Amino acid sequence: MAAEILSIRSPTLLQVGDQNRSYGVQLACISVNEANSQAALAWLQRNGSRGTKINFRPMGVQDGQMVAQVSLLKNGLNLGDALVAEGLASPLPCLNAERAS
């Protein structure tokens, strides 16, 4: 079974789950500034609503939070890349996250 979005907690933080676990997942390699926060949140809610099936690839842990690339299964859309393409987020280097063990 694929993971799915359970809730969108902020423009860069999702609660995702599979059949028996849930995770807080920070979108990897992006930053959303305060001015774009509401627009980015609205975009995520339109494109990744509750129950949307996803694939997430953990990239590490930062400040105790899992950091991952998150893509929609229906069309392969990477949420972080899409927010950058929409002008709602800025790309960040991915080297800051600690490797997940």
DSSP letter for 100, please. Answer: P
Could you give the number of structural domains in the chain? Answer: 1
Per-residue pLDDT reduced to its tens digit, 52-77:
999 999 999 988 899 999 999 999 99
53 with 72: CB under 8 angstroms?
Answer: yes
Q: Does residue 19 form part of some domain?
A: yes
Banded model confidence at residue 97, pLDDT cuts 50, 70, 90: very low
Q: Does residue 21 form part of some domain?
A: yes
Spatial distance between the Cα atoms of 51 and 67, rounded to a whole number of angstroms: 20
Give me 99's structure tokens: 């490797």
If residue 20 lies in a helix (H) or strand (E), which one and from where to where?
Answer: none
Q: Does residue 97 form part of some domain?
A: no
CATH number for the domain harbouring residue 56? 2.40.50.90
Q: Does residue 12 form part of some domain?
A: yes
At a CB cut-off of 8 Å and minimum separation 6, what does 97 contact?
28, 59, 60, 61, 62, 67
**Taking the model in full, what pTM does it have?**
0.88
Per-residue pLDDT reduced to its tens digit, 30-39:
999 999 999 9
Domain residues for the domain of 47 are 3-92
Q: Does residue 80 form part of some domain?
A: yes
Spatial distance between the Cα atoms of 70 and 56, rounded to a whole number of angstroms: 4
